[in-house]
């Protein structure tokens, strides 16, 4: 069925997102990768709602979109905060505490 294509696309998006979170050192790029992961979930939910022929997935996707917006709001505020204190948003420089 053609819904499999959506699932494939979302799996690819998810993998790109996970790679971005692990490999990127720029905080904003990491935030964008997290958005990719969340949007791959949305794609999944919509495709499954189509397959299962009920609206639960649509509702779930709406909740995910709303919560993702709140998360990114907090995330950008934090990026701004570390930029003010350090003049840099490179995550690998955030290593004051170790062990």
Chain residues that interact with another protein, rule: CB under 8 A = 7, 14, 17, 21, 27, 30, 34, 37-38, 40-41, 44-45, 47-48, 51-52, 54-57, 59-60, 63-64, 67, 70-71, 74-75, 78-79, 81-82, 85-86, 91, 94-97, 99
- Residue 24 beta carbon to another protein: minimum distance, rounded to whole angstroms: 11
Q: Angle CA(85)–CA(35)–CA(54) in degrees, nearest 5?
A: 150
Counting every residue written for the chain, the total comes to 99
Nearest CA among 16, 18, 87, 12 for reference residue 43: 12
Nearest C-alpha neighbor of 20 from the set 70, 78, 91, 98: 91
């Amino acid at each position: 069925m053609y819904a499999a294509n959506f699932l494939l696309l979302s799996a690819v998006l998810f993998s790109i997102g996970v790679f971005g979170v692990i490999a990127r050192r720029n905080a904003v790029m990491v935030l964008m990768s997290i958005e990719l992961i969340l949007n791959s979930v949305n794609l999944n939910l919509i495709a499954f709602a189509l397959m299962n022929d009920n609206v639960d997935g649509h509702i779930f996707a709406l909740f995910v979109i709303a919560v993702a917006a709140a998360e990114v709001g907090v995330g950008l505020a934090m990026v701004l905060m570390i930029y003010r204190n350090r003049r840099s948003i490179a995550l690998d420089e955030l290593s004051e505490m170790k062990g």
